[in-house]
Amino acid sequence: MVDLRTELQTYTEHLPSMLNRHDGEYVVIKDTLTVHFSPTYEDALNWAYNTFGLDHFFVKKVAEDQDVAHFTRDLGPCRI
């Protein structure tokens, strides 16, 4: 199991400097390195898969305010 806390910590530590040059872009982080910036999430993800294959990496929008979204694959049927 991959622990993404390292990448999240790297993102948090580098966010102020990334905001100066890459606000609104998407960053690819591998371990403790910010390795790539792309204008769209899709471009960042494609670059990361082409570079790292199925190895772990982290993609996140460079932004001061973050939208929080939670996803799960464990959803039951919708009930009214």
* pTM more than 0.85: no
d(CA 59, CA 38): 10
d(CA 27, CA 24): 10
pLDDT of residue 71: 52
Rounded to 5°, the CA angle 56-12-74 comes to: 50
State pLDDT tens for residues 34-48: 999 999 999 999 999
